[in-house]
Structure 1
Amino acid sequence: MALYTPEYQPSGEEIAVIKTSKGDIRVQLAGKDAPIHVGNFVELAQKGFYDNLKFHRYVPGFVIQGGCPKTRDLDTDQVKAAEGNPFAGLGTGNPGYSIKEEFSTNPNNVHEDGALAMARSQDPNSAGSQFYLCLGPQHSLDSGYTVFGQTIEGKDVIAQLRVGDVIEGIEIENANA
């Protein structure tokens, strides 16, 4: 799959407001540290890519993950029913491209509680749209997954999220025109 380079150039001031069925999460995006990931995330959010996707993976004390387009046409109960079934395909969707990893170049690639990072397959350059939020520090991930934001409000919301909860939409504050 071809690697995509986003047109959007982050200023470092962007804040993502992830609107979920459990409440809002505000994340300071790390545009200076992970410009490809932030640019990609901003573009997808502004296109409405994440609207009505569901969180499809929850590991207590580890992560809550969403952003798989294969959850779009499923309701909450269907996503819950598919959890753990590798044949359901949840967690395998992407936007039709991948982006280059930035964990090797990001000077602040640290998985703290509330960190926003991009999921990927075994190929380091396979991230696309799926993201996760850390439920506590996850430093074992620092050398293999790109962190591109840190939660500044809404850790209480993150703690309530479970498989099947809805990403109603993602708004980007302070985005360049």
Structure 2
Amino acid sequence: MARIKPQALLLQSKKKKGPTRISVTTIILCNLLVVLIVLCLFGTYRHWSRRSSDQGESGLSTFEDTDSFVVAKNYGSDGFGDSKKYDLPGYAVIKTSKGYITVELFKDGSPEIVDRFLDLCQKGHFKGMAFSHVIKHYVIHGGNSQGLGVAEDWISKGKLHRELITSPKHEAFMLGTSKAKQGSKVFELFITTAPIPDLNDQLIVFGRVIKGEDVVQEIEEVDTDEHYQPKHNVGIIDVTLKREI
């Protein structure tokens, strides 16, 4: 029997060896790499799905949020100058320390005043505004009116002309602002509590109370001093704008 040479025997033994074993470390590293890739893909998916959802919700909340209208900031240089009337909120819910007063805004009758009112609501102008004067059977006033002359003048005129035929603008529960203050940065609010025949000479009416008349009457009944100023703080907490009621 022929003897096998050492070199041939070495080659023959190499051919008979099984497959090369993969180390445990390599297996662990591969598994970690796969898990990392899966986590990255899942995180990317959640990020984009959440971003798409947020964009969709923000598009809706620009106009309504639980029936509330949040004033958009891209209406024009004046806030609302380039907007269409039907795009603007038609109602304001005034939250006072006595309760809620819902007002319908006269967008057609007083568009410029309504636009300014909406812009000031957006800027938080009325938050914390006190009712500085309360005149029973006449008006409640929020703002920074100086002196008592106007109030006394209104009362005297109201008594003189109480029997005159009044128009809807002269009725009780109308929302207006002072004509004399239009050139200033102050925007005063007046809510009538009785018909005022000479209303057009004093106020620009831009809304009507449609809900919360009892709250207006409750504010009207607060104790005041000789200057018609409430003895205890009563005022506006916030104003919420709505497109529909």
TM-score (norm 2): 0.49
Indicate conservation of the 8 Å contact 2:172/2:193, yes or no.
yes
Larger relative contact order (Cα-Cα within 8 Å, sequence gap ≥ 6): 1
**Partner of residue 79, structure 1:** none
- Of Structure 1 and Structure 2, the greater strand share is in 1
Q: What is the identity percentage for the equivalent residue pairs of Structure 1 and Structure 2?
A: 27
Q: Which string of whole-angstrom CA distances, capped at 9 and with x for unpartnered residues, describes residues 91-144 of structure 1?
A: xxxxxxxxxxxxxxxxx87121100000243x7x44741010001111211244
- Are residues 13 and 43 of structure 1, via their aligned partners in 2, closer, same or farther at CA, if it must alter by over 3 Å? closer
For residues 166 and 143 of structure 1, the distance between their equivalents in structure 2, rounded to whole angstroms, comes to: 26
The number of residues matched between the two structures is: 134
Counting helix residues as a fraction of each chain, which structure ranks higher?
2
- Root-mean-square deviation (Å): 2.8
Structure 2: distance between partners of 1:135 and 1:126: 26
166, 170, 174: which is aligned to 2:235? 166
Alignment of 1:110-129 (within 5 A): 110-121=169-180, 125-126=182-183, 128-129=186-187
Q: Does residue 43 in structure 1 map to residue 119 in structure 2?
A: yes
Structure 1 counterpart of 2:104, from 10, 24, 28: 28
Asked whether the equivalents of residues 89 and 241 of structure 2 are also in contact (C-alpha less than 8 Å), the reply is no
Q: Given the two structures, how large is their TM-score scaled by the length of structure 1? A: 0.66
Output the CA distance in 1 between the equivalents of 2:78 and 2:100: 26
Tell me the alpha carbon deviations over residues 119-176 of structure 1, each in whole angstroms, 9 at most, x when there is no partner: 243x7x447410100011112112442100000000100011143312001111019x
1:139 aligns to what SS in structure 2?
coil
Instruction: Report the residue type matching 2:172 in the other structure.
Output: D
Match of 1:137 among 190, 195, 217: 195
Q: Which runs of 5+ in 1 are unaligned?
A: 71-84, 87-107
Give distance in 2, aligned partners of 1:120 and 1:32. 18
| Structure 1 pair 143–39 and aligned structure 2 pair: CA distance change class (3 A) | same
Give unpaired runs (5+ residues) of structure 2: 1-76, 148-166, 223-229
8 Å contact from structure 2 (residues 179, 202) kept in 1: no
